[in-house]
Chains A and B, each alone.
Chain A
């Protein structure tokens, strides 16, 4: 049973517009959420995270929103750039040291930003 779901395997957006990547989770014990970006033949790169005590975290063009009641988080990229084209993974953790690596990953969403 998938605990972290990214229901859209792909997303295509025009350059300059907003990209919205969605993620749903089922485990109410998750309290730390992350987004990773992955280019082909490379390891994932950490992008942004959010703790369950917050509902929004912003870093430059990237904003993550968390809706705990809906068990839903989203990543907004504004404005989208061609270099943002990559696979984006959502991940969740139950927290506390030592088990931070026990991140549960979604299957990823491939974002294509067209010039």
Chain B
């Protein structure tokens, strides 16, 4: 069966520090991978998605970036965090076919102080 791992679960970082969140998927090949963010009082917002190694699409301009160095690895990064980057970050995967749901990881609670 497929599983998705996301870490760390919680993170407190000072403003201006770098960020690296990692996500890996097991049990499937060539998944679509996604990074979402849930800010306080808001729904889930798509940040990045990837349909293959090295292929990244950005949905929202920001100071975050994403990379996919391996088929089942997705990384969310920032060179300098802002206070507004605080939120709940979720990695997700789906298969490449018609109507299929997203499957989410357990998320990372990021607090920028």
Give chain A's interface residues, CB within 8 Å of chain B: 4, 32, 34, 36, 41-46, 49, 51, 89, 91, 95-98, 100-103, 105-108
Contact = CB atoms under 8 A, between A and B. Distances in A.
Contacts of B98: 95-97
Contacts of A95: 98-99
B27 interface: no
Smallest CB-CB A-B distances: 9 pairs:
A43-B104, A105-B44, A105-B43, A101-B34, A46-B101, A107-B43, A101-B49, A32-B99, A43-B106
Contacts of A101: 32, 34, 46, 49, 92, 94, 102
Contacts of B99: 32, 49, 51, 95, 100
A105 B92 CA distance: 14
Contact of A97 (B42, B43, B96): B96
Given A43-B104, A43-B107, A101-B102, 7 more contacts: A4-B43, A46-B102, A95-B98, A100-B32, A100-B94, A100-B99, A105-B45
A106 B44 CA distance: 7
Given A32-B99, A43-B107, A89 B94 contact: no
Interface residues of B, number: 29
Contacts, number: 67
Given A97-B96, A102-B49, A107-B42, A45 B34 contact: no
Nearest to B100: A100
B95 to A, nearest CB: 8
A100 B32 CA distance: 9
A51 B42 CA distance: 25
Interface of B: 6, 9, 32, 34, 41-46, 49, 51, 59, 90, 92, 94, 96-107, 109
A101 B100 CA distance: 9
Most buried by A among B92, B96, B99: B99
Contacts of B107: 41-43
A97 B99 CA distance: 8
B32 A107 contact: no
